[in-house]
Amino acid sequence: MKNFFKDIAYDKTIKLAFFINIFLIAAAAICILLAYGKLPPFIPIFNQLPWGEQRLGTTISIFIPVLAAILILITNSIISAITYKNIPLISRMLAAISLLAGLLTLLFILRTITLFF
């Protein structure tokens, strides 16, 4: 398994993007943990649904975006490691997509938490 990620570890762009992404996801999780006790029992987490109760989720559902970002990070890092030897550009694009997912997750969490403070 150590040799599996060896190629992408030498690429500065991919490595930097994945480390920044891990930092962003950790920052989002820390923000949630710090504000979790002060959040109301229902929060507007599903904003794409129609107006009303469908948009609300329980307080624990605030972790869904963070879990989705972690899943995207893991999936993209595995696919990057597989495709790096053949197409390095695809690996860099996957790292950028993961970075974007982490950034948008952090912004979404901060925006949702600041609704109540």
Q: Does 5 fall in a domain?
A: no
Asked if residue 45 lies in contact with residue 61, where contact means CB atoms within 8 angstroms, the answer is yes
Are 28 and 109 in contact by the 8 Å Cβ rule? The answer is yes
Quick one: pLDDT band at residue 114, thresholds 50, 70, 90? very high
Strand partners, 58: 42
Is residue 107 situated within a structural domain?
A: yes
How big is the chain by its Cα radius of gyration, in Å?
17
Among 64, 73, 60, residue whose Cα is nearest residue 101:
73
pTM for this prediction: 0.90
Q: Are 94 and 12 in contact (CB under 8 A)?
A: no
Tally of domains in the chain: 1
- What residues make up the domain containing 93? 12-114
Is residue 2 assigned to a domain?
no
Residue 6 is assigned to a structural domain of this protein: no
Give the contacts of 74 (CB within 8 A, at least 6 positions apart): none
Q: Per residue in 56-100, pLDDT tens?
A: 889 999 999 999 999 999 999 999 999 988 999 999 999 999 999
